Amino acid sequence: MSDTAEPQSTGLDPANGYRPTARTVPTRARELAAYDRELVHSILDGAYVCHLGFVRDGAPVVLPTLYGRIGERLYVHGSTGSRPLREAGRTDPGLPVCLTVTHVDGLVLARSAFHHSINYRSVVVHGVARTVTDPQERRVALDAIVDQAVPGRSADSRPADAKELAATAVIRLDLQEVSAKIRTGGPNDEPGDLALPHWAGVVPLARGCAAPVPSDDLDPAIPVPDYITAL
């Protein structure tokens, strides 16, 4: 997503990226944590599904949903009947949330069951989600969410009309308390296990797209757009 959004106040340290906080420093495997701004953005921009966590009636709730990034802000949309989106607008200053994004890059198979792991890239964002009420920001945010999944798609589809916009809520989460965590490499077997007769190594995983399948009611004369072919 573009970084050309209007400047916003953030938790950025100009020299080092995002400032670590008590909530963004992991209690274990701290050496895997990172706070570099460009790294965080690259992980966020490489996905389109996040998990949004919040507390409802005293119990934790985590919902998978689409998102989009514009500069130092993340946007999530949903029905105006969605409880977290309603609560983000009703509470002051907003709804405390934790948003996570994860890429699984490989299955790490060790000689011992204990040392099996995965290679991954993840981002965790803590903050307060606020309802977006400005009409222009809402439209830009909805376009960003569409383009997060399929870059270029928002310009090649009908924009939401007034009725659809009225049924859609958008919340904004500023990137202030943010951390990335990355695991790479092979298994960390115990020295005493290296002679065991078990295969060890990494099974790489990669996201891919199959050939697009046209809608049954699509005019056969309409070609597959280049931005879809590029996927």
Q: What's the CATH code of the domain at 209?
A: 2.30.110.10
14 falls in which pLDDT band (50, 70, 90)? very low
pLDDT for 224 equals 95
Whole-Å CA distances, 224 to 41, 84, 156, 219: 29, 37, 12, 11
Grade residue 41 by pLDDT with cuts at 50, 70 and 90. very high
In a domain, 188, yes or no: yes
pTM > 0.85: yes or no:
yes
pLDDT attached to residue 196: 97
Cα 198 from Cα 3, distance rounded (Å): 47
37 pLDDT higher than 90: yes
Number of domains within the chain: 1
pLDDT at 13 over 90: no
Whether residue 4 lies inside any domain: the answer is no
What's the pLDDT tens digit per position in 181-196?
Answer: 999 999 999 999 999 9
In a domain, 1, yes or no: no
Tell which residue, 231, 115, 97, 92, has the closest CA to residue 176: 97
Strands 49-56 and 201-204: unpaired
> What band does 6 get if pLDDT is binned at 50, 70 and 90?
very low
